[in-house]
Structure 1
Amino acid sequence: MKNYLMSISDSIISKQTFEEILQCNEETVEYGLKLSEENVKEIVEIRSEALSKNGRVEFGGGIIKQIISTFCESPYISQYNYIETIEELIETFYYYKNETMEEIGDIELINLMKGYFDNECQGSLELLRYKYLDTIAHNIKYGVSDYLNVDGDEEL
């Protein structure tokens, strides 16, 4: 019975998340970006996998809406790479939420990701992950007071 209730609850949350993400099209269409219902289903699935992989729980699609809203104006995202980029950003967000040990708030992390993605990384998700976010996570774990210092000048 317990698994059945979890399935109903998960189904309701997934449906709510689906609707919230689909509504993002109202904002993103002005940037030439639009998600189909199939794209949204894929994003909800990726989100579910990312949450599970990182041992996280989330109700609703607020984080995904925030990622889409924040990144839709990026010069490095077009309809051609939109779905893949959003999916990778979702996975990256949840992974680094854990890696930064909750020291960075959700909105702050998303804004940091966007700033580095658009500027230093020039749209490179690999550079975002493996240089900037890895360095920030390392700095937090090892007590660097200015954990946003990604240039290597460590101060404890």
Structure 2
Amino acid sequence: MILARLFFRPQLPPPLQPTLAIEVAPSAVASLAWFALTDGRFDTVTAVLTGYGILMVLAQLRLLPGFVRLPFMPSTWAFTFSWAAVVSVTLRWNEHGRPSGYLAYTYLLLAAITLLIGGIAARTLVGLLRGQLLPKPSSLGPVHSGTAAARSRT
């Protein structure tokens, strides 16, 4: 349904575009759950989930130029959970396969996800201090003022 929306409907408004990062999470979270259920066994299900995960990561790479152009907004936090899950699964695969230089890959992945989440957290604090994240109070007063005024006239 999400892919049909992306192909056949207008582009999502900018505040919702970062939520597309959530598309990488299902395969990563399912892989982590499968590892927990099977005591870390790598099998056909693991391979299928990983293949789907790689496809979703490639789709996200295609969206990266659009993500970079977006201003910072609260929905930017959608990247944190999704990519932390991807990094967690990648670390499991890295530990399982132990490719040449796997410790370097581990440190690079941990540094990258730490920078991403730390950067988003820092930018959130800056936005809060500047008053850029929360909606501005309406000059019309609270939403319920019209209701209270109507009651007082009766």
- TM-score (norm. length: structure 2): 0.23
Return the structure number with greater helix share.
2
Q: Provide the TM-score with structure 1 as the length reference.
A: 0.23
Structure with greater Cα Rg: 2
